[in-house]
Amino acid sequence: MLFSEVAAVFDQLEDISGRLEMTDILAELFQQAEADDIGKLIYLIQGIVAPPYEGIDIGIGERFALEAIAAASGYSKARVESHYKKSGDLGDTAEELLQKRAQTALLTSEMDLEHVYSGMVKIAKASGPGSQEYKIKHLTELLNNASPLEARFLVRFVLGRLRLGVGDPTILDAVSVAHAGDKSFREKLERAYNICADMGHVAEEFYKDPELIEKFKVQPFRPLMPALAERLSTPSEIIDKTGKCGVEMKYDGFRLQCHKKGDRIRLYSRKLEDMTRMFPDVAGSIREMEAKEIIFEGEALAFNEEKKRFFSFQQTMHRRRKHGIDKASQEFPLKVFAFDVLYLDGKDLTQKSYRERRKLVEKTFRKKGLIQPSGFRLVSRPEELKQMFDKAASSGLEGIMAKDLDAPYTAGKRKFAWIKLKKSYGKSVDTIDGVIVGYYLGHGARAEFEFGGVLVSVYNSDSGTLETVAKVATGFTEEEMVDLRKMLEKTKTKNPADNLVFNIEVDYWVEPRYVIEVAFDEITKSSMHTCGTRHGKGYALRFPRIVKLREDKTAREVTTTSEVADMYRLQHSSGFR
């Protein structure tokens, strides 16, 4: 498959917002792909060269991309930078300058998909002394052989700004349509993807033999997409929904998916990033476990031994660092509360009931030590659940999690198999997790910080779009305003995210990368916001303020539009307030 064919489809997708049309266009492209190409093609569409848990990033910044464009086009870096300031998109700059290139490479050749993908992998894997020069040189070579249109997408890809607006659900639909003409394989493909978190691998196996995706099993070092919880507002509603259930303490830390096979240990965040090097103490404890092979999930919190209380979420997050690990380990010692076992000594446990998996948690982990079972109790009455909730609150924990005793592990799914009840429920305040899609400049007293707030969106899982729900301008300290502005500046874009539905403007759009927890007093209807829009009005948060940055969450895990709609309805039911 020629890369020019891929670039032409990417160009088409930029002008389309409808998911059905996107699916058809991608399906047509996928029909042309061989089994050896489909995985690489899907990675490129996702804007990656490998699944997140492999930790392979392109690692090229704007300055280095500018140098490569200058070298390939024959224009000076000053000319390239000047054009970029006007266009606001280095991909567009590369396309236009290569269209008018001042010099042409002596030897050029048409590039196929394999050549481009392998080139991106080489760029991503380059490290050590001279690696930046190597990356620039290799990108320059790709641009020398590229058409102007190909150059647009090559540059956007290496910068992490492909912005096709194609979500994972659309890709899965397209793979099914390409093979069967309809979405009949979608559910099976999604299940396989959720238990290995590698869509390229799933598609490759599917192209070899469609029956293979039904045989996907959980295995060490291929992390699963984390199961997600629904929410209800009172103990009575939870018991009405589940009947007798298992209730666990809900810890306000960071979620770890821990893998062991022999002496090899890997710890993955809820974003499925490899965090092993950051937590040598946790890895050491897992290495000493009796199980030869295991995958389990736990919540890690920093614990103050002197005061016998947990540190705050912000203090716990100090453990997620690349440098000063030994010092951080001493200042913020961890406790990991195991709450699920997904794989044990060759057996995939995800289809077993929660009741069976919880017994294995109790059997596998000791009550004391760095890793121990999460607090747990079987309850059948609302009063018992309320007792657990009060105990969690008095211990400084976030709340409780009620779990259906008969449910399997629902990787990547948000179902009522798990139901969370947090401290904020039942009060005049609640929280959502939203992704920042833009920010505002400061005015008046905030002018000196050049930061006035952020525009936050939630995710509509039916349409695959982001929908705005709040403009958040309070809850920041002066230091946080400065830090957040600097962080967001690095992801500024000329245009909003391709899948963003909005009615209001911002001073600067940003890539939907950073998730924040937002507290609010109630949900109202507003013509300004697009969350769940009906009859010209969407849901909006009243008196929103930032609680914290959720570095452990991805845009995939933000609150959904349907959740916001449910919370709006709950406001008017007895017990919400």
Written in H, E and C, the secondary structure of 155-208 is HHHHCCCCCCCCCHHHHHHHHHHHHHCCCCCHHHHHHHHHCCCCHHHHHHHHHH
Across the beta sheet with 522-526, what order do the strands follow? 522-526, 537-542, 531-534
Measured distance CA(566)–CA(431) in Å, rounded: 13
Instruction: For residue 76, give the amino acid letter.
Output: S
Active-site residue identified among 40, 135, 188, 250? 250
- Measured over the CA atoms of residue 139, residue 143, residue 144 and residue 150, the dihedral's sign is positive
DSSP, collapsed to helix, strand or coil, labels residue 234 as coil
Q: What are residue 86's phi and psi, to 5 degrees?
A: -80, -40
Residue 214 contacts residue 221 (beta carbons within 8 Å): no
Across the beta sheet with 376-379, what order do the strands follow? 228-231, 414-422, 399-404, 245-250, 376-379
| β-strand partners of 340 | 297
Measured distance CA(148)–CA(88) in Å, rounded: 17
Interior/surface letters 470-501, b for 16+ CB within 10 angstroms, e for the rest: bbbbebbeeeebeebbeebeebebeebbbbbb
Please list, in sequence order, all residues whose beta carbon lies within 8 angstroms of the beta carbon of residue 333, skipping any fewer than 6 positions away: 281, 302, 303, 305
Residue 206 contacts residue 34 (beta carbons within 8 Å): no
Measured distance CA(456)–CA(514) in Å, rounded: 10
Measured distance CA(340)–CA(355) in Å, rounded: 10
Residue 210 contacts residue 176 (beta carbons within 8 Å): no
Measured distance CA(221)–CA(285) in Å, rounded: 18
Q: What are residue 394's phi and psi, to 5 degrees?
A: -70, -20
Measured distance CA(73)–CA(85) in Å, rounded: 17
Residue 212 contacts residue 321 (beta carbons within 8 Å): no
Residue 60 contacts residue 154 (beta carbons within 8 Å): no
Tokens of 318: 């100090």
Measured distance CA(303)–CA(570) in Å, rounded: 35
Residue 410 contacts residue 417 (beta carbons within 8 Å): yes
Helices 131-145 and 113-125 cross at an angle (nearest 10°) of 160
- Measured over the CA atoms of residue 486, residue 90, residue 33 and residue 8, the dihedral's sign is positive
12 CB-side CA count, 13 A? 16
Number of CB atoms found within 10 A of residue 295's CB: 27
Measured distance CA(545)–CA(517) in Å, rounded: 9
Residue 250 among the catalytic residues: yes
Q: Which residues are catalytic?
A: 250
